[in-house]
Amino acid sequence: MQDVADAAGVPKVLFYRIFSSKQKLLDAILEYVIQGIHEVYAKPLRFYGERAQEMARAAAACPEPFLLVFRYSRAGVEQLDWAEAVTRTIAAYTRDRWYAIGPDAPPGAAERADYASRLNTGAFIDNMIRWIEGGDGLDDVTRLRWWSRIQREYHLSTRDAYQLGTVPEVYALPD
């Protein structure tokens, strides 16, 4: 708590007035990021890569919570349960959007769709960290085009590999 207070430039006692424990503070940060994910995914999708672009824009206003949660999620720090919470949230949206089961899918497609949606989450989180940090030399336009192509090919090839049936809808690449 002292590190957080020092970083915020306020007395530690202020954090204890708002959050009764370090865990309560961490839970609030996680909830803030999960809510941001829900807000981004609630918007209609027009092209591949748009979710990542919108997530980076949402995080730009206050990047520290997103970076903290995404970094811990990537590392799989079990005592915080962030990896599972973030993975589960993103995977649920990914499954609904990209891995919906086609009418011609062979038996067992639901389990394969669940697995496929979770596979995509790690790459998404890694990309989000780099996009928010912006330190890898890519500008936003280049990153969007790069990530869009990756996501489109990943989506289509994963659907094919996991036999999820007819693709319900293929989105465009950004201009």
Among 46, 156, 43, CA closest to 102: 156
Give yes or no for residue 168 having a pLDDT over 80.
no
> pLDDT (tens digit, 9 = 90+) per residue, 73-101?
876 555 557 778 888 899 999 898 889 99
Sort 37 into a burial class: Cβ within 10 Å, 0-12 / 13-18 / 19+: buried
HSE, side-chain direction, 13 A CA sphere, residue 53: 20
End-to-end CA, the chain: 45
> pLDDT (tens digit, 9 = 90+) per residue, 116-160?
998 888 889 999 999 999 878 999 999 999 999 999 999 999 999
Can you tell me the distance from the alpha carbon of 112 to that of 91, in angstroms, rounded to the nearest whole number? 13
Cβ–Cβ under 8 Å, residues 170 and 156: yes
Q: What is the pLDDT of residue 149?
A: 94
Helix (H, G, I), strand (E, B) or coil at 55: helix
Cβ–Cβ under 8 Å, residues 94 and 72: no
Length of the chain: 175
Helix (H, G, I), strand (E, B) or coil at 89: helix
pTM: 0.84
Cβ–Cβ under 8 Å, residues 101 and 165: yes
> pLDDT (tens digit, 9 = 90+) per residue, 5-21?
776 677 888 878 888 88
Can you tell me the distance from the alpha carbon of 143 to that of 148, in angstroms, rounded to the nearest whole number? 8
